[in-house]
Structure 1
Amino acid sequence: MKSIISKVKSHLLLKLNITLPIRRLRHVTTETGVIGIIRTEAFKKSPRESEVFRDLSFWSAEVLSGDTERARQEAYEKVRHLVAPEMAAGFQEDIKEQFANSLAFDNSSSRYGNFVFSFPLSDLPDAYKDQHCRGGEPQLRVLGTAMYRREIAHAVVIHSPETDRYNDFPLVPVLSRHSEPFPFVYQRDGDVGMWWTPESTSTTIKVRILEEGRMTRTCALDQPCLGYSKDGKCPHEHRCVWNHLIIAFHLPEGQHFAFPKEKLLQNLSTCHGATDKYLKDTMVTKEEAEGIIREFMKI
């Protein structure tokens, strides 16, 4: 972790403190996974060996495209006050495209498979409460952080109040609308939902703000590379470590997170396999995935 952190360069365009509403969660899986979920009508725990991440069903925050576009406009509004007006206008589209371009915001592809179960966030805790909480309220706690070469994954666990397994982890705070500064994840008093303030939303920084307040698209190396000198295209833009918000449902031994087959199929769609996918050998094309879903519809 120290080695990774030492290579991360701070940048004005990374820490804009843009807060995004989380309205849906998505669980992405492979062909084998989707067949198992449909046949058993349930999501099961992940076979993780780590004590902290054991007995959990993992989901990701799904940021809707409209919320992403609003966040990009807000990011531009913050950045344009840092540079001369003519520069802000000239780099407007570059700034917007640079913000929220990581896989956490790409709903059309995934590294985890081609089959996407996408549910409204409000539906999942309610279903979990009915199945696992025996009349109590689900607890939301900040489970921890996993750091990878290009990704920092923050995890929130949802669990029954009957378990004391997560008592040492802090509760997701419930804030008023005027509280500042915002933590990376929180709930608002009186509202149903979750809000996320990622520190980094980009995979690369192509447009930079120089110390004197100017903006540039030039090569990130101290001495521009040959490719940039020839045609202005450069592979040496600053590569960023981006944030990923994971929501995990605790499923004690022998318990599942169940949904009727009809509801599963209503909330099932397909996506492309991402280029930096983990599961290369288990990926299919989006067209093949759509054909598999059509077969489910006939059963």
Structure 2
Amino acid sequence: MTQPNVQTTLKSRLTGTNSREYSKENIHMSLDDLKQEHKNDYTRKEVIQPNEEATNWGQVPHYPRPVEFCVSTVAHVTTERGLEGIMAANGFKGGERGFLWWGLVIGQEEIAAAEQRYLETLIPEWSPEEIERQKEEPFLHNFTTSPAFKDESRYGNFRFTFNLDDLLQKYSTEICGGQTPVLKVYKTSIYKQEVMYTVLIHSPDVCVYKDYPELDDNDQAVCLYRDGKIIWRAQAISETHHYKLTENKEKKEVHAEGNLNIGYVHYVWDHVTLAFHMPRDTILPFSRAELEEVLTPCDKDNPSVPKHDKLTKDKAMVEIQKYAPERKTSDTGS
């Protein structure tokens, strides 16, 4: 079904999961530019300036943006049926539109490093004492609450986690004939609240995507690849806003303040996905031992499914034990 109250110049389609996607190919649009071309109940909202008070539901409290995350780990999450197929094939096949999809894995270490970079950009020339004082009151974790940062997944209960460089090397060897894979800007998509930036990865021999621009390492890029990491300049990190960011550049103080006068506010959230092009009838192969080593359970984050129908982490671990009997039920780390 089409979203109500949508005005857009973007291309529209129904996905395989019957979600309405609005998108523009060949570009990673900044959130501000996207909001000019696509207006719904969320993108119409305005983010207010630092230290101002939101007074109505159409205003989003000030929050950190952009925030630069440097990510070296990616994950493919799948369902029980998908798990069976991966283990049976000893590897990964392309799914919808012939792509193998991976998301960024962002933990506390990446969040802490991103907070430090944000502070250094916001207020240059910190003294060591000022830096240590600010570290005593971290703030970014109050805002990194969107699905992009959750351990739970909307895609299933079984997560395969790889170092990005290792995955690219495997893809180079098995799919690209030893050549270096090409990373390109594929498209910007929006689904109601979710904004997704897709990076396309393919063999140099594939010509069908020749008109798509390669990822560019510049200050304006939403995401880029550098030194084995995806650099993601996140523009909307909360989805539901419970805090506002206050900034005092003279005193060099930055704080997250709760108890908003208007309560919590819903807004859009963004994230980056990697779409590996998989030629027809190809597999990105891994040994059973390699797959077992990187496989972990996770809870499924799907509010529309009743709790009693959801597969928990522990129950997902029981399914994993069918393929790795030596794994313990208590071994449910992400």
**TM-score (normalised: structure 1):** 0.77
Matched, 1:293 2:320: yes
1:17-57 alpha-carbon deviations (Å, 9 max, x no partner): 221111111001111111110111121111x3xxxxx1101
The question of whether the paired residues in 1 share the 8 Å contact of 2:186 and 2:212 is answered with: yes
- Hey, what's the Cα distance between the residues in 2 that align with 1:209 and 1:72? 13
RMSD over aligned CA atoms reads: 3.2
Query: Could you tell me which residue of structure 2 aligns to residue 271 of structure 1?
Result: 298
Q: Which amino acid aligns with 1:288?
A: K
Partner of 1:113: 156
The residue correspondences of 1:2-81 to structure 2 (distance < 5 A) are: 2-4=39-41, 6-11=43-48, 12=50, 13-14=62-63, 16-46=65-95, 48=96, 54-75=97-118
Matches within 5 A, 1:129-144: 129-144=172-187
Q: Per the alignment, do residues 273 and 203 of structure 1 end up closer, same or farther by CA in structure 2, a change over 3 Å counting?
A: same
Distance 2:149 2:305 in 1: 18
Match of 2:13 in 1: none
Cα deviations across residues 70-96 of structure 1 (Å, max 9, x unaligned)?
Answer: 324555677789xxx9xx98xx56x43
State the alpha-carbon separation in 2 of the partners of residues 124 and 279 from structure 1.
35
Q: Tell me if structure 1 keeps the 8 A contact 2:68–2:117.
A: no
In 1, distance between residues paired with 2:173 and 2:256?
Answer: 53
C-alpha separation in 2, matches of 1:33 and 1:253: 18
Asked if structure 1 preserves the Cα contact closer than 8 Å seen for 2:185 and 2:212, the reply is yes
CA contact (8 A) 1:172 1:186 kept: yes
Does structure 2 conserve the Cα–Cα contact (< 8 Å) formed by 1:27 and 1:118? yes
Matches within 5 A, 1:167-246: 167-173=210-216, 175=217, 181-188=219-226, 191-208=227-244, 217-219=258-260, 221=262, 236-246=263-273
Q: Sort the Cα spacing of 1:212 and 1:7 in 2 relative to 1 into closer, same or farther, 3 A.
A: farther
- Describe the SS at the equivalent of 1:7: coil
Distance 1:196 1:15, change over 3 A: same
- Which protein has the bigger strand share? 2
TM-score between the two structures when normalised by the length of structure 2 = 0.69
CA shift for structure 1 position 289: 0.7
Answer yes or no: is the 8 Å Cα contact 1:136–1:160 preserved in 2: yes
1:66-105 matched pairs, under 5 angstroms? 66-75=109-118, 92=137, 95-105=139-149
Unmatched tracts of structure 2, length 5 or more: 1-37, 51-61, 125-129, 250-254, 327-334
Give, as a single letter, the amino acid of the residue that structure 2 aligns with 1:119. F
Task: State the shift of 1:5 in Å.
Answer: 5.8
**Quick one: distance in 1 between partners of 2:295 and 2:245?**
42
Shift of 1:7: 2.5
Between the aligned partners of 1:113 and 1:45, the Cα distance in structure 2 is: 17
CA distance in 1: counterparts of 2:308 and 2:273, whole angstroms = 24
> 1 or 2 for the larger relative contact order (CA 8 Å, sep ≥6)?
1
Q: Calculate percent identity across the aligned residue pairs.
A: 27
Aligned residues between the structures: 264
